[in-house]
């Protein structure tokens, strides 16, 4: 009788242990499944938020190539914008919410040798960027080696694309330009004649 009781207790204890182990396994499995569900749900939410952020960001961006401005003579708007972007660090895509975007654009465009002044930068809510530029006007042709180079009314050397047809030609022997296009020629006589032509 005692032996039967002992066997019963052993079997009963084994059943309890097995039942307890199974409950722990089920509990861990449920916790794992719930954790996985929360993780996957979090990923979906983060993905949706990121997608909405991208959509919102795209609403306030414009391509540099879409900037509206009047190009210098002899250049298309696309070619002019390519040159501006080449000589500056301006990105291919502009963020209209960037705090100092207008100032950066004004500084960048002012570095182009054709640009005398940036009068205004308009950042419009219609995802448009407009620049109002004062373009240098050739007034005098100066012989430089075998070619003629144009200067504006302040004696600033213009790019090689500036036409010299029909311009008065400086008759003296000019010194070599002191700097690249966009800077003053550096010859006082050349600059004086250019200023006199600007006033006409």
120: CATH = 3.10.20
Q: How far apart are CA 37 and CA 103, in angstroms?
A: 49
Q: Which of 80, 103, 135 is the last residue of a domain?
A: 135
Within 8 A by CB and 6+ apart from 66, the residues are: 128, 129
185: nearest Cα among 193, 194, 177, 176: 177
Claim to verify: residue 119 and residue 174 sit in the same structural domain: no
Six token digits for residue 125 = 């809510």
Do residues 171 and 130 share a domain?
Answer: no
> Do 131 and 144 belong together in one domain?
no
**Taking Cα atoms as reference points, which of 144, 146, 70, 78 lies closest to residue 114?**
70
* Range 184-187, long-range pairs (CB < 8 A, 24+ positions): 184/154, 184/155, 184/156, 184/157, 185/142, 185/151, 185/155, 185/156, 185/157, 187/155
For residue 75, being part of any structural domain is answered with yes
pLDDT of residue 17: 59
- Indicate if 70 and 111 belong to the same structural domain: yes
Low-confidence ranges of the chain (pLDDT < 70): 1-22, 25, 27, 41-57, 200
pLDDT at 133 (0 to 100): 97
Domain encompassing residue 175:
140-199
**Is 183 in a helix, a strand, or coil?**
coil
pLDDT of residue 89: 83
Q: In whole angstroms, what is the distance from residue 121 CA to residue 106 CA?
A: 7
- Classify residue 173: in a domain, yes or no: yes
Does residue 185 belong to any structural domain of this protein? Answer: yes
According to the model, what pLDDT value does residue 47 have? 56
pLDDT score, position 136: 97
Assess whether 126 and 155 both reside in one domain. Answer: no
Q: What is the structure's pLDDT at 36?
A: 76
The answer to whether the beta carbons of residues 97 and 106 sit under 8 Å apart is: no
Which spans in 60-187 are helix H?
77-87, 101-110
Q: How many CB atoms lie within 10 A of CB 77?
A: 15
Q: Specify the length of the chain in residues.
A: 200
pTM for this predicted structure: 0.69
């Amino acid at each position: 009788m005692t032996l039967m009781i002992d066997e019963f207790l052993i079997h009963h204890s084994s059943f309890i242990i097995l039942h307890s182990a199974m409950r722990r396994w089920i509990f861990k499995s449920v916790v794992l499944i719930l954790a996985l569900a929360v993780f996957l749900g979090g990923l979906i939410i983060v993905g949706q938020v990121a997608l909405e952020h991208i959509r919102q960001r795209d609403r306030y961006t414009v391509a540099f190539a879409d900037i509206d401005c009047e190009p210098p003579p002899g250049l298309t708007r696309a070619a002019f914008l390519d040159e501006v972007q080449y000589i500056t660090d301006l990105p291919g895509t502009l963020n209209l919410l960037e705090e100092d975007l207008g100032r950066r654009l004004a500084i960048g465009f002012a570095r182009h040798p054709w640009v005398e002044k940036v009068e205004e930068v308009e950042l419009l809510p219609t995802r448009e960027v407009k620049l109002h530029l004062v373009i240098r006007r050739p007034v005098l042709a100066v012989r430089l080696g075998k070619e003629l180079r144009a200067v504006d009314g302040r004696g600033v050397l213009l790019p090689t694309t500036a036409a010299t047809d029909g311009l008065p030609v400086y008759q003296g022997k000019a010194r070599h330009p002191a700097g690249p296009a966009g800077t003053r020629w550096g010859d006082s006589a050349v600059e004086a004649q250019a200023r006199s032509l600007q006033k006409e």
